[in-house]
Amino acid sequence: MGERKISVDDYALARVPASARYGWFSVAVQRFGQVSALTQFILGATIGYGMTFWQSLLAFTLGAVILEVLAIFVGIIGMREGLSTSVVTRWTGFGTIGSSLIGLAIGVSLVGWFGIQTAVAADSLAAILSFWPSWAWAIFFGLAVTAIVLRGFSSMQWIANLTVPMFLVLVGWAIVVELLNHPLSELVWSPPPGPQLGMVEATTLVAGGFIVGAVITPDMTRFNRSVGDVVKQTLVGVTLGEYVIGMAGVLLAHAVKTADISHIVVSSVGWVGVLIIVLGTFKINDWNLYSSGLGVVNFIDTTFGKKLNRALVTATIGVIGTALAVAGILERFTDFLTVLGVVFPPIAGIMVAEYFVVKKFRPELDSAGESIPDTAPRWVFATLVIWLASSVFGYFVQFGMPSINSVVLAFVLYVLAGKLGFVRGTGVQKIEVNKKGNI
């Protein structure tokens, strides 16, 4: 316990030891908090506005199954190796150059979303608590989340135990209030209040809405103890997050006849609705910041050979994200972040293909014991080509579900490349890291 308490670096560049791991339910609470965020509420309202209740249920079911399968396989890699996403990719097909690019993509993307969601929470707080303007609430909210994440996973676990139950109670209250004015049967069987939304499009929204969260699953599952824990945590956390919060958004959209989540919760339960928004944003934003910090630490390590402390990097990123929220310029980055998100799905396909099928670099991980391998390939040319091709395919080819298409394509291409002998590491990079990860 002493080791966990002082380990604010949270094993950013090393394996999480058995002594620092948690039971499956504790991690499941974190996973549920990550999935059941404000964005999930917005997703439910968006889908409910364009579909019937039963169509929405099917869309969430299909999307949840896709996410759970992907998260379980990638999560098992994180659990077995005890390494974060950006670090374990060094030996799951990407080499140190590919790993550094992944770390940079994770860092930039998630700090962007951290700033955007900080601004959303700040605007909501300013609307109901007008004694502070939005910029002041942005500073308060952004720095509060940063302070929590500085202490690492254990601190985030504590806040999840507090905010997740409160969020559920408040969402339940909002639903009950609306059901008192609208019979449940009326909401379940009513036609969509807005323009019709197709099933493929809706399923794509569900799967795409959390695809980045699924890809960075190792950041969380490295704290799990067994494969069974990963499976239980994913099934409970993702399923409840998708259904409970997503379908709550569907019901409220049918009741209030709008997809505007702020209008929905405020019209349902008044100022308590703002608290729902803030709690929902808080629990996703700590993971945005946490994974962003891990990604940047890995990028700096692999690119410049500098091992920076995770807490220091997290504090810096938190201040930058908060400053961007205050400046109000983050809306300009939305399109960029959306495009950047296209690069994430193929990462999971390549990781799973390498770790479970091709196994070109798996022996290095297996032989390293409790530490990490002393060396890693500098780059893997076939992987970079597959990653680029799958990302371009996912962006430009719009039939079916683009994010899933790119995952499947990356998996198939990597397996084929492995069977044909094209998966080869070029160059060797020496890896130096403290075994305990306390830099």
Residue 303, SS3 per DSSP: helix
What span, in angstroms and rounded, lies between the C-alpha atoms of 351 and 411? 8
Contact 151, 144 (CB under 8 A): no
To which residue do tokens 């980045």 refer?
212
pLDDT at position 415 is 98
Question: How far, in Å, CA of 16 to CA of 83, rounded?
Answer: 7
130 three-class SS: coil
| Most confident listed range (276-285, 338-347, 366-375) | 366-375
Which residues contact residue 46 at a Cβ distance below 8 angstroms, ignoring those fewer than 6 apart? 197, 205, 249, 253, 259
Q: Which residue type sits at 408?
A: V
Highest mean pLDDT among 245-259, 280-294, 351-365: 351-365
Question: For residue range 36-60, what is the model confidence (pLDDT) as tens digits?
Answer: 666 777 788 889 999 999 999 999 9
- In angstroms, the CA 160 to CA 176 distance is 24
Which pLDDT score, from 0 to 100, does residue 409 have? 96
pLDDT for 33 equals 79
CATH topology for the 22-430 domain? Hydantoin permease (1.10.4160)
Residue 330: pLDDT band by 50, 70, 90 thresholds?
low
Band of residue 164 on the pLDDT scale cut at 50, 70, 90:
confident
Is-contact 167 36, C-beta < 8 A?
yes
Per-residue model confidence (pLDDT) at position 82: 96
> What is the rounded CA–CA span in Å between residue 212 and residue 284?
12
- What is the model's pLDDT at position 262? 59
| 289 confidence band (pLDDT: 50, 70, 90) | very high
Q: Is the pLDDT of residue 435 over 50?
A: no
> What proportion of the chain, given as a percentage, has pLDDT over 70?
89
Task: Quickly state the pLDDT bin for 9 (edges 50, 70, 90).
Answer: confident
pLDDT tens, 98-151?
999 999 999 988 888 898 888 878 887 887 778 899 999 999 999 999 999 998
Higher pLDDT, 122 or 227: 227
